[in-house]
Every structure is written in C-alpha cells, then in structure tokens.
Structure 1
Amino acid sequence: GNPITIFNGHPFDPLLDANGKVIGLKPDSGDYNADGVNFDFPNKPSTALPSSFSRQQYINGIAPATVFGQPAPGTEGNLKRAAYRNPGFINVDASLIKNNRFEMFHDNIDLQLRFEFFNVLNRVNLQGIHRDLSDPLFGRSTSTFDPRILQLGARLVF
C-alpha cells in the first residue's frame, strides 16, 4: 500500500432508525416520509453545529441526539446530506529490507530479511461515529483502527 495515508474523514448523516421496524408515518418509527424504508433524515439541529469536530468531541460525543428534530409525519427531514464528517485518518507505514547473497554447494542463495512497520507513529485513528439518533452512543466514536504493528519476515530463494 501507500507509505503515507491522510484523509479528512468520510461524510456521515445522522439518521432516524428508532426500533428498526418500518411502521410508516408514526413518530419515532424512523420512516417519516412513508416510503417503507427506515433511516430517514432528521431536521436540522436546533443549535448550529460545525461540519467537523475535534478528536475529544468525537470521543465524548459531537452533540446530544435531541438537538436533531423529528420531521412531521409524511414529510422529509430538512437536514442536508453529508452535513458532517467522521474523524480524519493519518497513517505512516515503513519497511526495511536487506538482501543477502550466499554461495552454498556451488549455488547462489538469496536471503531477504524484511522488517515492516504499520502505523509507525502509533497514532490513534478513530473509527466512524454512531450515527443512529436512537442509539445511546449517538455522536461518539467508540473504536479505533489498528495500533502500531511490526512484522518480521525472511525469504529464501535458491
């Protein structure tokens, strides 16, 4: 892969799922526009929120779910698509490779030693947030990508 990976976080949408049952036109069902599909968009938050947040906000929660209003039955929520972004990601990988050549029994033998480091900086990269407004963990990132990993290897070619 690439030795350095940096991106600013994928967009996410707060969604209304409630209990996961499609009831249609019933408050808290998650299907406000009666199209037979849950995960409809809520209304804009009652207080202005930035489009991206600090790492601490992602850990503690970007906002309480109650700031997002529920649309009236039979209508679409007025929150625009991709209004917010998940946490960014920075990763640096590195490899050290040493090639050695030996002669044994009149044949050349190549020995390659590999030391590979993934997430060299050991940066904590947060995964995406919980985006279901009915989830008690809404707005929080509760998991991370892999920490630093060291991989050792040898390859013998004869």
Structure 2
Amino acid sequence: MSAEPAIKAVTPLELTGRVVDAAALIRPEKETELTARLEALENDTLAQVMIVTTPDLDGRDIAGYGQDLGNNWGIGDAERNDGVLIIVAPNERSARLEVGSGMEDLLTFARSAEIVEAMLIHFRDGDYTAGIEAGLTQIETDLRGASPDIMETKLAA
C-alpha cells in the first residue's frame, strides 16, 4: 500500500488593509491612493473591494486561491456576499477578479474577464500599478453606475 502524497500547505497572506501588496508591485503613495478609492467605493456602494498581489499561488490555480483568500479574510458582507477581490500573481502571469455571489449580477463572468483583460494590457508592458488602476476604475464605474433598484436591493439586504 502506497502512502498518500503530502498536500502542500497553503501559506495564507496576512490581511493588512484594503490593499495587500505581498508581491511589492505598488509604490507606497499609489497604495495610499488606492486604499482611499476602495474606502470611498465601499462607503458609496457598501460593496467591499480589495486588492491583493501575491508573489506566488502556492502551486494552486488562481481561482481556488482567490476564493479561499476571500473566504478566509471575510471580504464583503456575509449576508449580501458582496465582496470583490482583485488578485494579481505576476510570477504566474495571472490575474483574476473573485466576485461574491451577491455581485455576480453586476460583475458577471464575462464582465470580469473584460476587466482583467484591460488590466493585462498594462501588465504586458510591466506597469502593474496602471493595470490595477484600470481594473479598479472599471469596477468603480460598474458599481456606481448600477441601476438604483439593484443597489437598493443590496442596501436592503
């Protein structure tokens, strides 16, 4: 009987704020600016959006990594499930939006893919900050431009 292979333990990143730049991609002054934008967005829409860069995905796919990270950190309101996580893993050349089920009517799979593609255009040029800002700008526009009845439903939840 052969022994089961060891499962690599996932090293969780520490939640230190609205921007967790573990891959050191964002200049400090830009991190401050992004944090203020994320705070204002949450104040305006109640949706909690976070940005994380990670030096590696611990051998996992970005979707599972992001889902686990979002759940472990408790991003978004538990009842509304309105968290959004922007994930950038430069060493794996990967980026993703992890979207809580309460936000899937606004940030659909197709829309999330468009936003990530807008980010990747900048990443290909080596400008991670511009890519992150481009993605966040589109998310801000979508959330702030959502029809009033959609946001009222979220506020009432």
TM normalised by structure 2 equals 0.22
When Rg is computed on C-alpha atoms for both structures, the one with the higher figure is 1
RCO comparison, higher one (Cα < 8 Å, 6+) = 1
**Bigger share in helix:** 2
TM normalised by structure 1 equals 0.22
**Bigger share in strand:** 1
